[in-house]
């Protein structure tokens, strides 16, 4: 089969997988296997760059990574780290494991292979990761193979960056969610809890109120913190701001849940009234007027309609 046709065929398959799934592990393993298919490599590793830590993390492979554990490289460390730092292709045709630029991991049998080529994945001048392809026997990498790998990495870089960013945000959200759950219970008074936590940090009287135009020592989207002693170290200030940002997320989530619950309740109440002969508009206007006349909320009136219906059953 013509090399150019083969390249297009493999790229099409990879793009189909990228469009069909957001499972990073599945995508990377498929890409690794496809790269091996392109240049007849014996194995392929894919490292992704984590900007927060400044590390390249081994995330995908043409073989099973399950028993290997997580391998990380600093920028400039090992061949992949050097390629990530310099953003250029590096290849070694024989005795790669003896090369001074190569970092050997004893639990990777691929690190005893003779030849290796390492290619950066860059999107809009931003490092996404590095592809390493290994050959068991000596292999002189041709200009054509280097061009194919470079073209392949260029084509997949944008889609891969998007999936990788999503995965990092998802992980951060999970970590943050666990932290928040351990700090504040779902029905707990968030203002009192924040006061307690900040007091334990600073050992000075503190008041946390809803964010208003009043002067406050520290503010976030929803909260204002007033301290008896407003002298804070930079570290203390950062810690409190981080805590408030976390609390903002909790409050935002509570508000969203409350809005969804209210919407569902109103819809149920409207449904009950519509079965009695009202139109949807008439049902909503009835609920709203009842709320205004009784000085109650639309949610409270909707709830009473639903409860009354349940009682009559």
Domains and CATH numbers, the chain: 3-177 (3.30.450.40), 190-312 (1.10.10.10)
Q: How many CB atoms lie within 10 A of CB 267?
A: 14
Q: Is 126 exposed, middle or buried (0-12, 13-18, 19+ CB in 10 A)?
A: exposed
Residues 139, 102 contacting (CB under 8 angstroms): no
Average pLDDT, the chain: 83
pLDDT of residue 4: 66
pLDDT of residue 91: 92
pLDDT of residue 216: 77
For the segment 252-274, what is each residue's pLDDT rounded down to a tens digit? 877 777 788 888 888 888 988 98
313/1 Cα distance (integer angstroms): 73
Per the rule left: phi > 0, alpha: psi between -120 and 50, beta: everything else, 277 is left
pLDDT of residue 19: 74
For the segment 277-308, what is each residue's pLDDT rounded down to a tens digit? 888 889 889 999 988 998 888 888 888 888 88
pLDDT of residue 193: 82
Q: Are strands 206-210 and 223-227 parallel, antiparallel or unpaired?
A: antiparallel
280/267 Cα distance (integer angstroms): 9
> At residue 176, what are phi and psi to the nearest 5 degrees?
-65, -40
Beta bridge partners of 73: 56
pTM given for the model: 0.58
CA 222: distance to chain centroid?
24
Does residue 72 sit in helix, strand or coil?
A: strand
pLDDT of residue 56: 93
Task: Determine what percent of the chain is predicted with pLDDT higher than 90.
Answer: 21
State both tokens at 223.
């909260």
> At residue 76, what are phi and psi to the nearest 5 degrees?
95, -10
Could you identify the residue written with the tokens 């953003």?
87
Per-residue DSSP letter, 40: T
Does residue 134 sit in helix, strand or coil?
A: strand
Does residue 101 sit in helix, strand or coil?
A: coil
Q: How many CB atoms lie within 10 A of CB 248?
A: 16
| Angle, in degrees to the nearest 10, between helices 280-294 and 298-312 | 110
Q: How long a stretch of residues is the chain?
A: 313
Which residues are CB-neighbours of 245 under 8 A, at least 6 positions away?
Answer: 220
Distance (Å) of CA 243 to CA 162, 200, 206: 28, 13, 14
207/191 Cα distance (integer angstroms): 8
Distance (Å) of CA 189 to CA 184, 192, 193, 208, 262: 8, 6, 6, 11, 20
Report residue 180's pLDDT band, with 50, 70 and 90 as the boundaries: low
Distance (Å) of CA 310 to CA 37, 211, 269, 280, 305: 64, 40, 11, 21, 9
Beta bridge partners of 219: 224
């Amino acid at each position: 089969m013509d090399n150019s046709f083969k390249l297009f065929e493999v790229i099409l398959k990879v793009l189909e997988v990228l469009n069909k799934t957001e499972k990073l592990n599945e995508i990377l393993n498929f890409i690794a296997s496809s790269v091996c298919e392109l240049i007849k490599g014996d194995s392929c590793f894919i490292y992704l760059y984590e900007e927060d830590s400044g590390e390249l993390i081994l995330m995908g492979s043409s073989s099973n990574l399950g028993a290997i554990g997580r391998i990380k490289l600093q920028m400039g460390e090992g061949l992949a780290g050097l390629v990530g730092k310099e953003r250029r292709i590096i290849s070694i045709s024989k005795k790669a494991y003896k090369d001074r630029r190569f970092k050997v991991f004893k639990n990777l049998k691929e690190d005893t292979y003779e030849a290796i080529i390492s290619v950066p994945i860059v999107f809009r001048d931003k490092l996404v990761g590095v592809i390493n392809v290994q050959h068991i026997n000596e292999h002189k990498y041709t200009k054509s193979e280097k061009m194919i790998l470079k073209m392949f990495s260029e084509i997949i870089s944008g889609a891969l960056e998007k999936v990788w960013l999503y995965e990092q945000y998802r992980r951060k959200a999970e970590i943050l969610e666990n932290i928040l759950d351990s700090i504040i219970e779902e029905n707990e008074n968030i203002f009192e809890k924040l006061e307690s936590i900040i007091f334990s940090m600073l050992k000075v009287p503190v008041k946390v109120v809803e964010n208003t135009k009043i002067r406050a020592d520290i503010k976030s989207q929803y909260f204002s913190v007033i301290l008896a002693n407003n002298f804070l170290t930079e570290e203390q200030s950062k810690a409190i701001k981080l805590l408030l940002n976390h609390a903002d997320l909790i409050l935002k989530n509570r508000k969203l849940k409350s809005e969804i619950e209210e919407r569902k309740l109103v819809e149920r109440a409207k449904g009950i009234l519509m079965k009695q002969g009202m139109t949807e508009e008439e049902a909503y206007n009835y609920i709203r007027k009842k709320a205004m006349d009784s000085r109650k909320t639309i949610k409270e009136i909707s709830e009473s309609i639903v409860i009354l219906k349940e009682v009559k059953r």
